Amino acid sequence: MKYLDHFYINGRFVTTDGRARRDVINPATEGIAGTIAMGTAEDVDLAVKAARRAFVTYSQSSREERLTLLRRVLSIFDERAEQLAQLTTLEMGAPITFAREAQIAGARAHIADAIRILEYYEFERMAGPTLLSLEPVGVCALITPWNFPVLQIVTKVMPALATGCTVVLKPSEYAPISPMLFAEILHDAGFPAGVFNLVNGDGPTVGAAMSSHPGVDMVSFTGSTRAGVQVAKSAADTVKRVHQELGGNSANILVDDVDLESAVTKGVLAAYRNAGQSCTAPTRMLVPRHLQERAIEYAQQAARSVVLGDVTDDRVMLGPVMNELQYERVKSLINKTIAEGATVVAGGSERPQSLSRGYFVQPTVFADVIPHMTAAREEIFGPVVSLIPYDSVEEAITITNDTPYGLAAYLQCADLSKAMAIARRLRAGQVTINYPAWDASAPFGGFKQSGNGRECGEAGFEAFVELKAIGGLQP
């Protein structure tokens, strides 16, 4: 909180006198968690120029120099992990257990993975007589969302810095508190001035200035598809690279050979992670029609097992949605789906009776959902699961792919050869079979309107390098 009303430009936390101020609202209490300064196009210009100057030397740094810096980041991150978790709970209402075990532990895993990859990554390789040189793309404008405020920053910043790029970051104005502590971590790790810069602000002002700035070589954006389109348009005039991770409405196909109770329970609880505010949430649960009644029973039980309440309590599983706008939107989409004929078998649009404040939405399950309904078409981004019956695997594949999105898909099938045959036909950037352990290195990104490019693992490094072919090195 020390530098919350500052920006971080050219290696310093700079004061922001005269800038407009914005309160950060704790969605669990509706109270003020802090106040930030809102940046301008002039602030972006200063940050980009600092990054441009720093790129000249940082792009030529050695692998070992960058490894030393990243290892320092990891060490300091570990020292401040609990503080980061507490701030995540403060600014976005994530239950403290989830903040520790997913939000911050996940971010740590991505830092460690970036170090692991940098240790062996081949920046130069021969292809016949030609040397292929993978070189940093340049100054990168990174625009990150509020739903995973530190983790999403890490998945962009770490590979960018590991490959020799310099950075200007705009975190979400709804969740900027933990990102400012992350800026302190990078500062204390000793990165040269200008390598990392942070300007707070909103999308139409700071985001647009970053996307259109001629000194920026690449924009990496995570957020809604609507906003992603605007970023791409702003970047087009300067023909910069645009990397986008956008919306989703992921299907979870349950094949009739699985343990239905386990598959439904795990699927419902997975959809409620982060209050359903995950672009990969398995919100559309496709169930064989003859198993639908049993699936409804198991889904009801799973929804009713979810503990709501004080997000600082280790036992609480479900926090609020992010802000009043999102709260009203989720309730509206629930009511619209009811009006279309879906059956509410758990939850609904009313505030949980046990809570008098905060943007809490009941863990909700719809049954009798058909593919044209709102819940099956739109990304609700709240704790809502829709049970969709199907009559054949062929129909399930068709329903899964019948969406403008293609970020993730889930498949529960005991026969792995059958599962692979189905997975190959799903138009999604990630297909997850039988709820495996999370893999920090798995490339992350989508098909269709879910974006382009990939984050995480080696693919995350490739997003931040340009390929140069050098010939004439052999006689």
Give Cβ neighbours of residue 176 (< 8 Å, ≥ 6 apart): 4, 24, 36, 91, 149, 200
The Cα 221–Cα 453 span in angstroms is: 10
- Alpha helix (H) residue ranges in 272-344: 292-304, 324-339
Write down the residue that tokens 């390789």 correspond to. Answer: 125
Catalytic-role residue among 140, 165, 173, 279? 279
The Cα 56–Cα 435 span in angstroms is: 45
Catalytic-role residue among 245, 378, 379, 455? 245
Reported residue count of the chain is 475
In terms of Cβ atoms closer than 10 Å to its own Cβ (0-12, 13-18, 19+), residue 372 is exposed
Give Cβ neighbours of residue 372 (< 8 Å, ≥ 6 apart): none
Residue 435, φ and ψ in degrees, nearest 5:
50, 60
Return the sign of the alpha-carbon dihedral for residues 187, 144, 219, 63.
Answer: positive
Which of these, 3, 22, 453, lies nearest to 240 by C-alpha position?
Answer: 453
Return the sign of the alpha-carbon dihedral for residues 395, 400, 404, 406.
Answer: negative
Give Cβ neighbours of residue 367 (< 8 Å, ≥ 6 apart): 292, 296, 299, 342, 343, 345, 387
The Cα 198–Cα 446 span in angstroms is: 27
CA angle 434, 438, 439 (to 5 degrees): 115
Token reading at 441 = 């290195």
Annotated active-site residue 413? The verdict is no
The Cα 243–Cα 247 span in angstroms is: 14
Supply the angle between the helices 151-162 and 105-120 in degrees, to the nearest 10: 10
Annotated active-site residue 245? The verdict is yes
Point out the residues that are catalytic. 245, 279
